[in-house]
Structure 1
Amino acid sequence: MPDNIVSLVDRHPTLDAAEIVASLVPPLHFHSASFESYVPDADYPSQDSTRVRLAEFAAGTSVTVRHARLFSRAKKGASELPGVYLDGGFGVGKTHLLAAAWNVAGGRKYFGTFLQYTSLVGALGYVKAVDALRGASLICIDEFELDDPGDTMMMTRMLGELMAAGTKVAATSNTPPQALGEGRFAAADFLREIHALAATFETIRIDGTDYRRRTSEGIASVYTSNDLSAKVSASVAGGTWVAYNSFDDVLKHLGSIHPSTYLRLINGIDVLALQDVHVIMNQTDALRLVAFIDRVYDAQIPIWASGTAMSDVFGGDMINGGYRKKYLRCVSRLIALTNA
């Protein structure tokens, strides 16, 4: 077998505390994100006003002259609260704006998903995790989750300590309540869960439609088994590094390693090829897949798959259940990655 055909199940990545801290930066495709490069949808004025407000918030840490025009448009007397929360549906550019704020900020700063921060606490312990983050100018939390009340309240406590010490916090939503409607986040639910921090966060509503749906087909691309095998062979011969596994093997392997290592699992891979994709009926497997696809999307790795279209993998009534928003966001990303 060529060296550039990789089996994910042969990889058993680990991540220590120092590596978790070092990994707290925006995903590669957001490294150059800026407020200027964010293109608001003219049909949803809240996108541009959110851009302006977050630029102003980021200016409280450090700012370059090129952003001055944006700041001048912000309302006078805007809130000086130490936290901002972007409340909106998926695919409206919240992560782009969050990364833009991180890129503008001066001093020591961190950017990560809710999972990365809880993994840091798990690796270091609460006190050492707080000490590691203490003194940061800005902490960005993408996809703040309410799945686990214990994790939510632990993060609430940690953010309270850090904000009291002068750190600013910017966060986006990723919450599962059934009251979301069209995948939209209910700010009141978030504020109720983090009642200790409610008074220190300014909630900014950002509306819009999923940009990935605007730029890709409505279903994930799928290959026949023979076509997938031929495509992998041709690509490998051309020097592409392909992770080639059965869908079941990948699902099983994801359950054997910690989700904080999923990004390392796909390190150095150019394409993810999955054989015999099928509908998932087990919610634990489904949620692991969501976490994995989030990391594949962060790395912008295309997916080639045979079997069931990956946009249809969440079976039963999962898509309408308590994790609706997670699954809808994942489907959106799968459509984009399989059509890349």
Structure 2
Amino acid sequence: MPNPEDSISRKLEAMIVAGTLTRDPAQLVIARRLDHLSSELAAGRAERKSNALGWLFASRKNEHPPLKGLYLYGGVGRGKTMLMDLFFETVPIKRKRRAHFHEFMADVHERIFMHRQKLKNGETRQADPMPPVAAEIFAEARLLCFDEFSVTDIADAMILSRLFGELFSKGCVLVATSNVEPGNLYKDGLNRGLFLPFINLLKAHADIVPLDTTTDYRLAKIEGLPVWSSPLGPDADAELDNAWKLATAGLTVTSAEVAFKGRKIVVPKAAGECARFSFADLCEKPLGAADYLAILSHYRTLFVEHIPHLGPERRNETKRFIMLIDTIYDHGARLFASAASAPIDLLTAKKGTEGFEFDRTVSRLIELQSKEYAANHHAASAVS
């Protein structure tokens, strides 16, 4: 059973006492619900361990009602990801998986492809890939935790009902966060009628709970912090570290990967909607605007450290940096950075196309530091 000292409620209280979290009654209510779910998951594990025929009894209808998960929705910056991460850390079961929803679906599509290859090669007679794919996933994780549940891809929309129908029938438990209530998932999407059965399935197997708090804590934490720290050195490093610490307070910081066109973009540090890179990670590797857009589909705030002066010897890096800033700006994302100098002095020689385009980059870097841009970013995130 969970240790009461390790409960989400206790952890929130400790963070409040330490001054790293503002007391919010709505968050505490959700924490208690998640603590209860954690206890139920642990009790189910203990029961199965003590009963060699637990799998048989669990499969009989009405013997054990299916355990309902939780679908938590609300505006950005309300603490949804923090609460789910604390739940994932504290729930005392081994078969659990926490993933960004789009990463999970990329994995599902890969498993479906591999199954069809086996069918083609005569390695299986099972024509329908969904039952074996769901069985594989459930064998690895009884609990699935998804951050930023958002359905935008028609291929995902078409398989969700069948996939989760299989998973829920096996006893899989879902905990997810989203900016929208289930009824608005895949809104106005192509062939949405085929997706609607999934919404009903979700409501049957997860409690739908709004996080009723009007405060955007993420905005409050980073409001007024330096966005562009220069010149490079201990002071700039400290400013960026402090901004990162505040923006990710209460979240689990890990490395991550963004799947894109059959390859993976490494994210050295990620927490919630924040990702942290070095200039070398983003601009000294063969990445382009599509790669940056793929990153921003997962993370709305980028931290980029150690941006150097950009001279003629760094022409390719300069082109990528221009594309990076254009992508961040065009999609209303946020940027925190440490750099060798102020934006206007970053390019050491204004020659050719890059010299002309960099004037636009300087203008955008200046605007990215404004309070108005920050406010618009959070307003846009709230409706995305």
TM-score of the superposition, structure 1-length normalised? 0.54
Q: Distance in 2 between matches of 1:292 and 1:89?
A: 16
Which residue of 2 is the match for residue 85 of structure 1?
Answer: 71
Bigger RCO of structures 1 and 2 (CA < 8 A, at least 6 apart): 1
* Cα separation, 1, equivalents of 2:164 and 2:337: 36
Inter-partner Cα distance in structure 2 for 1:260 and 1:295:
22
- 1:134 maps to 2:121: no
Alignment-mate amino acid for residue 189 of structure 1: N
1:146 aligned counterpart, secondary structure: coil
TM superposition shift of 1:214: 1.6
Cα drift, residue 132 of structure 1: 2.3
Change (3 A) 1:289 1:116: closer
- Residue 100 (structure 1) aligned to one of 86, 104, 120: 86
The residue aligned with 2:381 is: 325
Name the SS for the 2:99 alignment partner. strand
Give, in whole Å, the separation in 2 of the partners of 1:80 and 1:261.
Answer: 36
In the aligned structure 1, how far is the partner of 2:144 from the partner of 2:184? 22
Report the CA distance between 1:118 and its aligned residue.
Answer: 0.9
Q: 1:212 is matched with which residue: 208, 212, 218?
A: 218
2:70 touches 2:207 (CA, 8 Å); kept in 1? yes
For residue 85 of structure 1, give the secondary structure of its aligned residue in structure 2.
Answer: strand
Alpha-carbon offset, residue 153 of structure 1: 3.9
Looking at structure 2, the residues matched to 131 and 146 of structure 1 have their Cα atoms a distance apart, in angstroms, of 23
Equivalent AA in structure 1 for residue 166 of structure 2: E
8 Å CA contact 2:66–2:171 kept in 1: the answer is no
Give me the whole-angstrom Cα distance separating, in 2, the residues matched to 1:296 and 1:61: 35
Letter in 1 for 2:135: D
Matched AA of 1:113: H
TM-score, with length taken from structure 2: 0.49
Shift of 1:53: 1.0
Deviation, structure 1 residue 51:
1.0
User: 1:92 aligns to what SS in structure 2?
Assistant: coil
Where does residue 336 of structure 1 map in the other structure?
none
| Offset from partner CA, 1:165-205 (integer Å, 9 cap, x none) | 0111111114xxxxxxxxxx344324956233322221111
Give the share of equivalent positions with the same residue, in percent. Answer: 23
Q: CA deviation at 1:289?
A: 4.2
Runs of at least 5 residues in structure 2 that lack an aligned partner in the other structure:
1-5, 44-64, 113-128, 186-194, 238-256, 284-288, 304-334, 344-361, 370-374
Within 1, Cα distance between the matches of 2:258 and 2:221? 33
CA RMSD of aligned residues (A): 4.8
Q: Does 1:291 align with 2:325?
A: no
Q: Answer whether contact 1:273 1:303 (CA < 8 A) is retained.
A: no
Unaligned runs of 5+ in 1: 1-31, 64-78, 175-184, 236-253, 278-282, 314-318, 329-340
Match of 1:118 among 77, 96, 105: 105
Give yes or no for contact 1:88–1:205 (8 Å, CA) kept in 2: yes
Partner residue of 1:73? Answer: none
Tell me by how many angstroms 1:113 deviates: 0.8
Larger helix share, 1 or 2: 2
* CA distance in structure 1 between the aligned counterparts of 2:207 and 2:31, rounded to whole angstroms: 14
Point out the structure with max Rg over C-alpha.
Answer: 2
Secondary structure in 1 matching 2:77 = coil
1:245: which partner in 2?
none
Paired with 1:33 and 1:295, the residues of 2 have a C-alpha distance of 29
Distance 1:223 1:285, change over 3 A: same
Which residue in the other structure is 1:25 paired with? none
Task: Give the C-alpha shift of residue 57 in structure 1.
Answer: 1.4
Q: Deviations over 1:228-254 (max 9, x none)?
A: xx449x97xxxxxxxxxxxxxxxxxx9
Whole-Å Cα distance in 1 between the matches of residues 200 and 376 of structure 2?
28
One-letter identity of the residue aligned with 2:227: S
The verdict on how the C-alpha distance between 1:260 and 1:212 changes in structure 2, with shifts beyond 3 A counting, is farther
Aligned to 1:59: 39
